[in-house]
């Protein structure tokens, strides 16, 4: 089902299970098995999927692990067992005790491809729980596709997605915890990022409620031509779709945003 020109993507939209790492790993394995059976090459899960997002600074500090910690080891074993790449959100304990809102991409052999720390922290909620990531955007190869990562609020700033596209990204995976009241972002902004940066954007959100937050669902896969598959606002669901390189090639040929972009001033270019 997957080929050099196609990639089957699964998104798991679900309610968060705060503080239940074991339960979330069990859900991850069940969804990975189902997605793999349906031909998916990669499964994308929401922001901070492993622990829950709105869990407070004390819990984040207590549950945070390094990128190669126990959560990653278990996720790697699931990836190997099911033969599917995984992209999931988790609290990462980094240098000097700093904790980051991170997303990790493992290949189908359970090997780490990318570990990304959220750069754009959202309000007090993020800033009280996490340190700001400052690494430059990176791209990795997944099943013959160039892939980059962002997390939730990052996608609302066009610069990050564009830098990934300029670095060669054909697909951007976005674990998300977007709240009710911001449906516009889920339905319009994400689609615009795919169009203006000429890449596919896969956006996996929570639904339901968590400690006073209500999530808006509306997970989606958005194409550079304006194509879009969108999930519901309220339902837990495993969404699957196939992206294809001919759409990407055609869109980049017909939409010259990336090649026409000018960042220098007239004086610099003269």
What confidence score (pLDDT) does residue 1 get? 64
pLDDT exceeds cutoff 60 at 269:
no
Continuous segment of H or E residues that includes residue 264: none
Contact 9, 41 (CB under 8 A): yes
- pLDDT value of residue 203: 98
| Tokens at 88, concatenated | 């999931």
* The pTM of the whole model exceeds 0.75: yes
Instruction: Give a yes or no: residue 178 inside a domain.
Output: yes
* Residue 171 in domain: yes
- C-alpha pair distances (Å), 65 with each of 26, 131, 133, 173, 215: 18, 14, 16, 22, 25
Q: Are strands 145-149 and 171-175 parallel, antiparallel or unpaired?
A: parallel
Burial of 108 (0-12, 13-18, 19+ CB in 10 A): middle
Q: For residues 34-48, give the mean pLDDT.
A: 98
Beta bridge partners of 14: 206
- In this prediction, residue 265 carries a pLDDT of 64
Percent of the chain with pLDDT over 90: 90
- Let me know if residue 270 belongs to a domain: no
pLDDT tens for 90-108 read 999 998 889 999 999 999 9
Contact 165, 189 (CB under 8 A): no
Does 269 map to a domain? no
- 136 within domain boundaries: yes
CB 240 within 8 A of CB 40: yes
- Structure confidence by residue, pLDDT tens digits, 140-187: 999 999 999 999 999 999 999 999 999 999 999 999 999 999 999 999
Rounded distance between C-alpha atoms, residue 74 and residue 246, angstroms: 36
For residue 135, the model assigns a pLDDT of 78
DSSP state at residue 157: S
Helix (H, G, I), strand (E, B) or coil at 160: helix
Q: Say how many domains are in the chain.
A: 1
Q: Is 268 inside a domain boundary?
A: no
* pLDDT band at residue 26 under the 50/70/90 scheme: very high
**Model confidence pLDDT, tens digit, residues 67-92:** 999 999 999 999 999 999 999 999 99
For residue 261, tell me if it sits in a domain.
no
Annotated catalytic residues are 47, 118, 152
Q: Which structural domain, as residue segments, surrounds residue 116?
A: 6-256
Decide if 1 is inside a domain.
Answer: no
Q: What is the mean pLDDT of the chain?
A: 95
Please state, in angstroms and rounded to a whole number, the distance separating the CA atoms of residues 75 and 35: 15
What is the domain-level CATH number for residue 27? Answer: 3.60.110.10
């Amino acid at each position: 089902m997957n080929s050099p020109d196609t990639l089957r993507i699964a998104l798991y939209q679900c309610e968060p299970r705060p503080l239940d790492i074991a339960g979330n790993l069990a859900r991850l394995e069940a969804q990975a098995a189902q997605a793999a059976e349906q031909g998916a090459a990669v499964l994308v899960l929401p922001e901070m999927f492993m622990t829950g997002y709105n869990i407070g600074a004390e819990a984040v500090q207590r549950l945070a692990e390094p990128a190669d910690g126990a959560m990653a080891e278990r996720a790697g074993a699931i990836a190997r067992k099911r033969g599917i790449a995984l992209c999931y959100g988790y609290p990462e304990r980094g240098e000097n005790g700093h904790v980051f809102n991170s997303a990790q991409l493992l290949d189908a052999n359970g090997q780490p491809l990318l570990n990304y720390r959220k750069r754009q922290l959202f309000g007090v909620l993020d800033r009280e729980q996490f340190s700001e990531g400052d690494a430059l955007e990176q791209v990795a190869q997944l099943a013959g596709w160039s892939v980059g990562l962002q997390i939730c609020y990052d996608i609302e700033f066009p610069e990050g997605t564009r830098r990934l596209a300029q670095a060669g990204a054909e697909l951007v995976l976005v674990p998300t915890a977007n709240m009710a009241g911001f449906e516009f972002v889920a339905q319009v902004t994400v689609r615009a990022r795919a169009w203006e940066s000429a890449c596919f954007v896969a956006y996996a959100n929570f639904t339901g409620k968590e400690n006073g937050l209500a999530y808006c669902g509306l997970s989606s896969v958005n194409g550079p031509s304006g194509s879009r598959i969108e999930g519901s606002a309220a339902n837990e669901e495993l969404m699957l779709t196939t992206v294809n390189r001919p759409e990407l090639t055609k869109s980049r040929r017909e939409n010259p945003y990336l090649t026409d972009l000018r960042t220098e001033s007239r004086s610099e270019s003269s």
